[in-house]
Amino acid sequence: MDLQHSKDALTPQDIAQVEAQIGCELPAQLRAFYLQHNGGHCQTNLFMDEDEGYKINEFLPLKYGRNTLESTYLGAFLDNPLMPQNLVPFAGDAGGDYFCFATDDAQAGAIIFFESEYYDEPERARVFLAPSFSAFVAQLIVDPD
């Protein structure tokens, strides 16, 4: 994956520090991704699920940026009782919705798209995309638009 506008490189210690802050470990595949790319933009940014497309605007940097994974999770998810506590955002779309990994036992590591406008309808707000980060990335395509 070719990401542009990535933030400063991360160390395993940086990742461990963020994991301690957010209270959970990143899935191994996502941890490996962050060791190579600390967020950014890429051309391979569209996930197609049957007839529905989900476009990544930006992979959130883990650290060293204004809107990081850590700040988004702690600020927008944990501090807001309307948001799910068992989803950790790692990317966002242009409309303010998030691509997340699940931390609950039933779907740990699964990639879920969270549509925040349906926060009061959890079944509608959570869209299962892939069982893992690597399966998710393998299905990304270049947006034809």
Question: How many domains in the chain?
Answer: 1
CATH at 120: 3.40.1580.10
d(CA 142, CA 24): 31
pLDDT of residue 121: 84
- Tell me how crowded residue 116 is: count the other CB atoms within 10 A of its CB: 15
Q: Please check whether residue 33 lies inside any domain of the structure.
A: yes
Tens digit of each residue's pLDDT, the chain (145 residues): 778 888 999 999 999 999 999 999 999 999 999 999 999 999 899 999 888 999 999 999 999 888 999 999 998 888 888 788 899 999 999 999 999 999 988 899 999 999 988 878 878 899 999 999 999 999 999 988 7
d(CA 108, CA 70): 18
pLDDT of residue 129: 97
Q: Please check whether residue 4 lies inside any domain of the structure.
A: no
pLDDT of residue 88: 96
Q: Which domain holds residue 86?
A: 12-142
Q: Fill in the amino acid letter for 130.
A: A
d(CA 115, CA 69): 17
SS3 19: helix
Q: Please check whether residue 1 lies inside any domain of the structure.
A: no
Q: Please check whether residue 132 lies inside any domain of the structure.
A: yes
pLDDT of residue 106: 85
